[in-house]
């Protein structure tokens, strides 16, 4: 399941730990060592996850158990979109935390390692163990997707040339009509969501000085008519698609500056053309 509390907690931690000191004196946070900041941040996030888990996700309601959820079969709850959500969440978590740790004084390699460990320990292991004591159960498939996401975030952070060529993104289109009401909230509304890999022409020297630098190739996946196993199996769809899109990060960098990097993680609907194949 796409655990929004993790990413929300990370953004809150980011704001808190980078807050300005209006009194022009060193704040409590600034006086902490990098190790203390690392510990406080991870303890804070873990506390938030567990608090939300016991109050909202049913942690402790059942005896510990495993759950074999499957991957991309039509008989699964969401056709695999939830697994891609786990991958993306851990990838994003690693990419968010790694530069924060580097800003605190860790080396780039240490930062990537600690960023990925924060992701897999808190967003992966902690949540999955908690799920094991709820109606969901510990999902091996979820954990594998979590691990792949964290490792990918680690590799992409340490290899800027790779990150310049390839993005992992999520698209959410709230205006897309669906035959059924979403069973949860927008973070797990897979009926209106797509996950994709974008290959950016700008990352290749061959296209750097040509108009093609503003374009990118999309390889993506989305499932429809699953809605958390609430719809008939006969009408369910799993789609792989190729798309040609505009590199919004490149296009808006002159006006948005560093904020344009948001488009390296979020795909804006209706900014590409696609051809999909159902299987």
Band (pLDDT 50/70/90 cuts) for residue 67 is: confident
DSSP state of 73: -
Instruction: Out of 158, 181, 202, pick the residue that ends a domain.
Output: 158
Instruction: Say if residue 275's pLDDT is above 80.
Output: yes
- Domain identity same for 217 and 279: yes
Counting every residue written for the chain, the total comes to 279
Band (pLDDT 50/70/90 cuts) for residue 180 is: low
Instruction: Say if residue 24's pLDDT is above 50.
Output: no
Band (pLDDT 50/70/90 cuts) for residue 17 is: low
In angstroms and rounded to an integer, the radius of gyration of the C-alpha atoms of the chain is: 20
Instruction: Out of 127, 142, 158, pick the residue that ends a domain.
Output: 158
- Domain identity same for 166 and 149: no
- Domain identity same for 149 and 181: no
- Domain identity same for 237 and 276: yes
- Domain identity same for 61 and 181: no
> What is the distance between the alpha carbons of residues 25 and 146, in angstroms, rounded to a whole number?
40
> What is the distance between the alpha carbons of residues 149 and 188, in angstroms, rounded to a whole number?
17
Band (pLDDT 50/70/90 cuts) for residue 276 is: confident
- Domain identity same for 170 and 144: no
Has this prediction a pTM greater than 0.85?
yes
- Domain identity same for 91 and 199: no
Instruction: Quote the pLDDT of residue 117.
Output: 96
pLDDT over 90 percentage in the chain? 62
Which of residues 54 and 177 earns the better pLDDT score? 54
pLDDT over 70 percentage in the chain? 87
- Domain identity same for 143 and 15: yes
What is the SS3 assignment for the chain? CCCHHHHHHHHHHHHHHCCCCCCCCCCHHHHCCHHHHHHHHHHHHHHHHHHHHHHHCCCCCCCCCEECCCCCCCCCCCCCHHHHHHHHHHHHHHHHHHHHHHHCCCCHHHHHHHHHHHHHHHHHHHHHHHHHCCCCCEEHHHHHHHHHHHHHHHHHHHCHHHHHHEEEEEEECCCCCCCCCCCCCHHHCHHHEEEEEEEEHHHCHHHCCCHHHHEEEEEEEEEECCCCCCCCHHHCEEEEEEEEEECHHHHHHHHHHHHHHHHHCEECCCCEEEEEEEC
Instruction: Say if residue 13's pLDDT is above 90.
Output: no
Instruction: Say if residue 174's pLDDT is above 90.
Output: no
- Domain identity same for 11 and 116: yes
Instruction: Say if residue 68's pLDDT is above 90.
Output: no
* Nearest Cα to Cα of residue 220 among 193, 196, 245: 196
Instruction: Quote the pLDDT of residue 15.
Output: 46
What domain count does the chain have?
2
- Domain identity same for 50 and 17: yes
Mean pLDDT in residue range 4-15: 50
Instruction: Quote the pLDDT of residue 124.
Output: 83
| Pairing mode, strands 215-224 and 193-200 | antiparallel
Q: How confident is the prediction for the chain on average, in pLDDT?
A: 88
- Domain identity same for 5 and 129: yes
> What is the distance between the alpha carbons of residues 144 and 149, in angstroms, rounded to a whole number?
9
What pLDDT, in 10s, does the model give residues 81-106?
999 999 999 999 999 999 999 999 99
Domain span at 167: 160-279
Burial 25-55 (b: 16+ CB within 10 A, else e): eeeeeeeeebeebbeebbeebeebbbebbee
As given in the structure block, the two tokens for residue 120 are 């897999």
- Domain identity same for 1 and 98: yes
Band (pLDDT 50/70/90 cuts) for residue 9 is: low
């Amino acid at each position: 399941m796409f655990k929004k509390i993790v990413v929300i907690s990370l953004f809150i931690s980011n704001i808190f730990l980078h807050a300005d000191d209006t009194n022009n004196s060193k704040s409590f946070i600034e006086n902490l060592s990098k190790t203390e900041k690392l510990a406080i941040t991870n303890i804070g996030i873990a506390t938030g996850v567990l608090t939300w888990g016991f109050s909202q996700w049913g942690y402790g309601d059942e005896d510990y158990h495993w759950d074999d959820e499957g991957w991309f079969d039509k008989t699964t709850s969401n056709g695999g979109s939830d697994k891609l959500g786990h991958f993306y969440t851990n990838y994003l978590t690693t990419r968010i935390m790694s530069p924060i740790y580097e800003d605190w004084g860790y080396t780039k390699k240490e930062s990537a390692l600690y960023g990925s460990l924060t992701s897999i320990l808190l967003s992966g292991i902690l949540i999955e163990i908690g799920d094991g004591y709820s109606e969901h159960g510990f999902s091996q498939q979820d954990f594998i997707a979590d691990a792949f996401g964290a490792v990918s975030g680690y590799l992409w952070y340490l290899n800027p040339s790779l990150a310049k060529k390839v993005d992992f993104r999520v698209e959410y289109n709230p205006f897309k009509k669906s035959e059924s009401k979403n069973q949860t909230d927008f973070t797990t509304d897979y009926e209106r969501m797509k996950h994709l890999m974008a290959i950016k022409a700008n990352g290749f020297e061959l296209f750097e000085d040509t108009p093609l630098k503003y374009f990118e190739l999309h390889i993506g996946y989305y499932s429809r008519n699953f809605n958390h196993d609430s719809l008939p199996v006969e009408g369910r769809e799993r789609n792989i698609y190729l798309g040609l899109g505009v590199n919004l990060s490149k296009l808006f960098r002159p006006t948005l500056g560093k904020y344009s990097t948001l488009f390296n993680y979020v795909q804006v609907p209706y900014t590409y053309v696609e051809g999909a194949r159902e299987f």
